[in-house]
Chains A and B, each alone.
Chain A
Amino acid sequence: MRAYVIRRLLLLIPTLLGITMVVFLAIQSIPGDPIEAYLGQFYEEELAASLRKQYGLDKPIYVQYVLWLGRLARGDWGKEVLSGLPVLDQIRERLPVSLELIFGAMIVALLVAIPAGITSAVRPYTASDYTATTGAMVGISVPEFFGGILLVLLFSLGLGILPVQGFKPWSQGAGDHLAHMVLPVLTLGLTRGALLTRMVRGCMLEVVGQDYVKTARAKGASEFLVISKHALKNAMIPVITVLGLQVGFLVGGSIVVETIFSVPGLGQYGINAISSRDYPAVMGFILVSSLTFVMANLMVDLAYAFLDPRIRYED
């Protein structure tokens, strides 16, 4: 187990190098020369050359990459073009909001998927199963932004019990904060929950048919105990893998959801930066979003090894 954890952590190094390389090349390949953009249309070639030298832009691209990595590691992520504020500080302020949204959505997804999937699998091809599978299929097909708008129409404009959009920090009262977070979390969580429901149902169906479940039933264990204690544990293993993959969609979905509900998270920051062509900020956004995904996958892999004693990873 320890060897596996260490190996998995070592595997982070090439992944992180790969990601930074892609982000670096992506920013490099955006059309336009930064020095020309800075100096305007008319400039002296000598001044441009000295500026290039000053910023290290005259060096070969791999040297530039290594220099850039060094700056990243020292916490120098550049400054926003418009405000001049350090990008890293801005991201540090917004990341917790996005993580709260993503984490909340994950819990909503599990709270929906596990009961719905189990009900479906325990009584397959009945009315409750068809309701759950149809609901899941429709849920997968609804884009987050449309789902969000429907929730706004129902809860905000229709029933008038929740705010349409906006954000209140924790410091202004927990109730107000949570009221503003309910719809974004639900929007993101329900769409993901739909896919997980299908997954839980599929895995559960497979496990319920296995011999050890029959044995548990034959021993006279109650149906509740058989499902919750014997079947669920094994069914959850593939579900957790899918949950890990879902984190990627949660990160992506949070960008859209934050835009709809004006939640000042990382996604909204990124989209604003893209529309104002603030490339240091764009870079920070891409880098931190990908890192969130990589770290979440790492946690899922570790949880996986912990949950399933059959997996010992000793090859």
Chain B
Amino acid sequence: MKIEPGRQSAQDYASGGGNGYAATGVREPALPRAATPADEEMPFETMLAMIWRNLCRSKTAVFGFIIVTAIVFVALTADIIAPYSYENPAGGSLLPPSLKFPFGTDPLGRDILTRVIYGTRVALYVGLGSITLAVLLGIPLGVCSGYYGGWVDLVVMRVMDLILAFPIFLLAIVIMIILGPSTANVVLALAIVRIPIFARVIRGSVLTVKELDFVSGARSVSATDFRLLFLHILPNCLAPIIVTATVSTAFAILVEANLSFLGLGTQPPTPSWGFDLKQNMTSLSERPFIVIAPGLAIMFTVLGFNLFGDGLRDALDPRTRS
């Protein structure tokens, strides 16, 4: 049926796309119709602003964000703000805190504050590096598993189950034994143990999203699998990935500290909070304060990412949106 603009009759409405309101001459209520397209066409910037507004509503999330920003700032400017060299002794061994050495010196005479400042680099390198790697490897696995199903799903998910059959920390230790201790290998080991988490999260989201109407719509205009996956499905699975990634960063930093504490992670003289704590612990009874600075550094960094992740979860969760 060919309809000329402006000449639609009541009969056309009744027989075709009418919704009952038009036929009876009553104006369609504005709200339900206006809400849907506005939601879908919301510009990216507006969405970001909304997430940001939600995030700012929680004091703890803001606190977390400030910590994370501060850590990143310290890591970037370590060469400028650190008072001494992290490798060479700056004074006598095991000096008490003073104006010159705010946290004292370690058993090798190095300034503890300087070591803590440079420690942010290893923490961020491991935290962000391993999670980026895990996301980059986990997304294709999870997407293929969820989208194609069948034997692809079966094989991928059984391998992921096998990885998850080990306690995470133990598996990280096993990988470090094979690869040998170094910071780069910690990044790799933590990425491997974290891949199943991302693959599962993404698979779950893809399973939900791929049944939605807009995907069938895209498929009906013969979009390729690649286009469907990366332009239509993946952007709709981003929220859980971002939240999982933030919380996983906290976890990765914690595990690096633990591995280095056991001597399986970052090797000296590179400053790592975990290793420094282990080394300073030998002088615990003479100078109890020397373990406090690296310990607090780990605690606040992990706390920052955890709080930020918690806040993001609330901000991105549609149920808590206003």
A146 to B178, CA, bound (A): 27
Q: Are B299 and A141 in contact (CB under 8 A)?
A: yes
Shortest Cβ distance from residue A238 to the other chain B in the assembled complex, whole angstroms? 17
Does B307 sit at the interface, judged by CB under 8 A? Answer: yes
Q: Which of B288-312 contact A (CB under 8 A)?
A: 288, 291, 295, 298-300, 302-303, 306-307
Does A271 sit at the interface, judged by CB under 8 A? Answer: yes
Number of interface residues of A (CB under 8 A): 44
Cβ contacts B273-284/A at 8 Å (1 or 0 each): 010011001001
Q: Which of B165-214 contact A (CB under 8 A)?
A: 165-170, 173-174, 177-178, 180
Q: Is the interface of A mostly helix, strand, loop or mixed?
A: helix
Does A163 sit at the interface, judged by CB under 8 A? Answer: no
A142 to B258, CA, bound (A): 11
Does A222 sit at the interface, judged by CB under 8 A? Answer: no
Q: Which of A195-232 contact B (CB under 8 A)?
A: none
Q: Are A294 and B298 in contact (CB under 8 A)?
A: no
A140 to B264, CA, bound (A): 22
Contacts of B140 in A (CB 8 A): none
Q: Are B174 and A286 in contact (CB under 8 A)?
A: yes
Cβ contacts B233-256/A at 8 Å (1 or 0 each): 000000000000000001000100
Which residue of chain A is the closest to B250 with respect to CB atoms? A141
Report the number of A-B residue pairs with Cβ-Cβ less than 8 Å: 120
Most buried by B among A30, A249, A274: A274
Does A138 sit at the interface, judged by CB under 8 A? Answer: yes
A–B pairs, 29, beta carbons within 8 Å: A19-B162, A22-B174, A23-B174, A26-B177, A29-B178, A30-B177, A138-B299, A138-B303, A141-B302, A141-B306, A142-B299, A143-B254, A143-B295, A143-B299, A146-B277, A149-B281, A149-B295, A150-B295, A153-B284, A153-B288, A248-B168, A251-B167, A256-B261, A256-B262, A270-B173, A275-B263, A282-B177, A289-B170, A290-B166
Interface residues of B (CB under 8 A from A): 60, 162, 165-170, 173-174, 177-178, 180, 250, 254, 257-258, 261-264, 274, 277-278, 281, 284-285, 288, 291, 295, 298-300, 302-303, 306-307
